[in-house]
């Protein structure tokens, strides 16, 4: 039986609960960046009383170009994330790309994230689910850009059959022709019928894949995030950077760090309205 809501460290995520925010830079560019962003997000969480998980990737394994920056790698990346968790007091999350990464990531992170392109890989999903059970973590599976929301039942069942009841499904856009993602907000209530909390990835949803690097339009992030919360999303995933124009990965999609507090307050208020608080 899948749990809903799920416990993410001290937080609860699911219908009727306050929003869970998963926020941080796309990739670990440096420990200095992680300290800066993590520190400001921790202050936001404490000041506004919001449920916030800090995220950053130790490896961007799906970069378009072989020359693109990928990150510090598993060992160093997890060391940086562990220090960030200790310094900020926030739970942390990162991507898991291969089955052998699942166990070490579960020792540091409270959410183990499976990237959209990898969500149909059975060995990866079951390895992450097993590690999540041992580490008392949550598995966050991003819906692939080519999969219908109802078909995420198969990923959920893989976790359930592996003994992991704590699963979040994330909507992050669907391929529509070449170089454009679109969001069908029906995905949120449809994936709710599978028994899990549902997250909305607002920044990857505005990606424009193609060319030597992936483009995007961060101006659309607040619009999509508000629509998703209105449709019942239990969590919102946002990538942020102090200066997105200088980001080493996904700069066009990331929200400037200075704009995050206002957006978080808007979404929190909208969630309260949806919940009838």
Mean pLDDT, rounded, for 242-249? 93
Q: What are phi and psi of 200, to 5 degrees?
A: -120, 125
190-244 per-position pLDDT tens digit:
999 999 999 999 999 998 776 555 667 889 999 999 999 999 999 999 999 999 9
* Ramachandran class of 77: left when φ > 0, alpha when ψ lies in -120 to 50, beta otherwise: alpha
For residue 145, the 8-state DSSP code is T
Averaged pLDDT score across all residues of the chain = 94
In which residue are the tokens 């170009």 written?
65
Do 71 and 57 meet the contact criterion of CB atoms below 8 Å apart? yes
Give me the domains of the chain, ranges plus CATH numbers. Answer: 6-41+70-214+229-269 (3.20.20.70)
Residue 22, classed as helix, strand or coil, is strand
C-alpha to C-alpha distance for 236 and 198, rounded to whole angstroms: 9
Do 221 and 202 meet the contact criterion of CB atoms below 8 Å apart? yes
- Kind plus residue range of the DSSP H or E element containing 54: strand 51-55
Residue 121, classed as helix, strand or coil, is coil
Of 109, 249, 233, 79, whose CA–CA distance to 170 is shortest?
233
In which residue are the tokens 């749990």 written?
3
H helix runs in the chain, sequence order: 31-48, 74-88, 102-106, 122-135, 153-162, 187-192, 221-230, 260-275
Per-residue pLDDT at 63 exceeds 80: no
Do 257 and 241 meet the contact criterion of CB atoms below 8 Å apart? yes
70-123 per-position pLDDT tens digit:
888 999 999 999 999 999 999 999 999 999 999 999 999 999 999 999 999 999
C-alpha to C-alpha distance for 233 and 19, rounded to whole angstroms: 8
Q: What is the CA radius of gyration of the chain?
A: 17
11-44 per-position pLDDT tens digit:
999 999 999 999 999 999 999 999 999 999 999 9
């Amino acid at each position: 039986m899948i749990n809903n809501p799920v416990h993410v460290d001290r937080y609860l995520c699911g219908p009727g609960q306050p929003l869970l925010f998963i926020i941080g830079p796309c990739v670990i560019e440096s420990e200095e960046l992680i300290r800066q962003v993590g520190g400001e997000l921790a202050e936001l969480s404490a000041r506004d009383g919001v449920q916030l998980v800090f995220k950053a990737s130790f490896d961007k394994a799906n970069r378009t170009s072989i020359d693109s920056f990928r990150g510090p790698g598993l060992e160093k990346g997890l060391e940086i994330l562990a220090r960030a968790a200790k310094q900020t007091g926030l739970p942390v999350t990162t991507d898991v790309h291969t089955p052998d990464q699942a166990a070490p990531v579960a020792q540091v992170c409270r959410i183990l994230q499976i990237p959209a392109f990898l969500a149909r890989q059975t060995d990866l999903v079951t390895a992450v689910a097993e590690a999540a059970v041992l580490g008392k973590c949550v598995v966050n599976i991003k819906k692939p850009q080519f999969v219908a929301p109802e078909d995420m039942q198969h990923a959920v069942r893989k976790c359930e059959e592996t003994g992991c009841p704590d699963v979040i499904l994330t909507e992050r856009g669907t391929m529509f022709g070449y170089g454009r993602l679109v969001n069908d907000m029906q995905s949120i209530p449809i994936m709710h019928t599978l028994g899990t909390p549902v997250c909305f990835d607002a920044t990857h949803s505005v990606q424009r894949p193609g060319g030597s690097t992936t483009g995007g339009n961060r101006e659309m992030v607040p619009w999509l995030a508000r629509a998703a919360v209105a449709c019942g999303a239990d969590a919102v995933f946002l990538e942020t950077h102090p200066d997105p124009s200088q980001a080493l990965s996904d700069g066009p999609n990331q929200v400037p760090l200075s704009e995050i507090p206002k957006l978080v307050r808007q979404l929190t208020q909208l969630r309260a309205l949806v919940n009838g608080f």
